[in-house]
Amino acid sequence: MRGRSKLRAKASRFAAYGAFVAETVGGPLATSTAALSALTFLLVLAFPPAGGPVSGLPVLLYLTSVGYSVVALAGASAMVSDLKGPAQVFLSQPISRTAYALAWLSALLTSALATFSAFLLSFAVIDPILLRAVDPILAAAWLLDAAILALALLAAAVLARRASVLVALWAAMTFGSAFLLALPSEHLRRAVAVARPLYSALSGWGAAGGPPLAESALLAAALALLLYWLARARLEV
């Protein structure tokens, strides 16, 4: 009985902190979603109805991914600022280090889901028939790509605790990947394709087998474990 009430108290503390983190990420998320929804509408209107927005879908998916990456960067930077101040209050008693990292991770992963849902639903508002143009593999690649980016940024936030490092990592992952995919080195391209499955799917690299989703999922799992280890080892109480 006592154990259950303890668990409930833990859950409610996590929920309260989760709401605080969600409010921190909510601003950038709303701004980015507004811009992306407006862009989706504009691009749908700018294509002839016969072709539909299908021809512009890769551009939209790329821009949605860039929009989300800004949300992830803002979230990870907010975590860095939080770690310098208010986090000490939370980490000293109410929530555990793992729960603290988990709250930020949940916020960023939910933001990814929210961004993608808003993108799909913007299509559905215009005409549900447009959803047929979104390939499930491409959708899976988008979500895995966002998860890897969020995990990498959060791990860097816990490890380096400097916003400049996060910006450098974000720029390398967002813009550097496209250049690296164009390089002749097979190993390097393979690594980039695993780290940014959306980019490899959109650029058509490895078109025969599609984006390496299984390897990307393994990378995401490895980054999650790394974040868990870093949270336990590097967050002070």
Partner 1 sequence: MLRLVGYALLTAACVALLAMLLALSSNGVSTFSTTVYGVSSRALALRGQSLLALLELPTPGSPGPSAVEGFTSALDVRVSGAPKVAIQLFLPPPSPANLTRPLPQYSPKYVLVENLSMRGLTCYVYEGRTYRSRVEPLLGMLAGDWESYDLLERVLGLSLSEVKAAVDPAGSYVLTLRLGNDTAVLCALEFDASMAEAVFDNGTRVPFAEFLALARSARVKPGLPPYAPYALNVEVRAYALFRPTPVQVARALALLAAGAVLVALDALLTGSPPFLFLYKLRRILRRRGT
Binding site for partner 1 (CB under 8 A): 12, 15-16, 18-20, 22-27, 29-30, 33-34, 37-38, 41-42, 44-50, 52, 106-107, 110-111, 113-115, 117-119, 121-122, 124-127, 129-130
For 192, how many CA atoms within 13 A lie in the half-sphere containing its CB? 26
Separation CA 209–CA 194 (nearest Å): 13
Nearer to partner 1, 119 or 170 (CB): 119
Output the DSSP codes for 82-104. Answer: HHHTTHHHHHHTTS-HHHHHHHH
Supply the minimum distance, in Å, between the C-beta of residue 222 and partner 1.
Answer: 24
Considering beta carbons, is residue 7 or 30 the nearer one to partner 1? 30
Of 102, 85, 84, which Cα lies nearest the Cα of 22? Answer: 102
By beta-carbon proximity to partner 1, the closer residue of 124 and 188 is 124
Residue 138 Cβ vs partner 1, minimum distance, rounded to whole Å: 19
Query: CB-wise, 29 or 76, nearer to partner 1?
Result: 29
User: Nearest distance from residue 135's CB to partner 1, in Å?
Assistant: 16
Quick one: 127 or 175, whose CB is closer to partner 1?
A: 127
CB of 5 to partner 1, least distance (A): 17
- Ramachandran area for residue 206 (φ above 0: left; ψ -120 to 50: alpha; else beta): left
DSSP codes joined into one string, 101-156: HHHHHHHHHHHHHHHHHHHHHHHHHH-GGGGGGS-HHHHHHHHHHHHHHHHHHHHH
Q: Minimal distance in Å, beta carbon 124 to partner 1?
A: 7
Q: Which residue has the tokens 């950038």?
A: 28
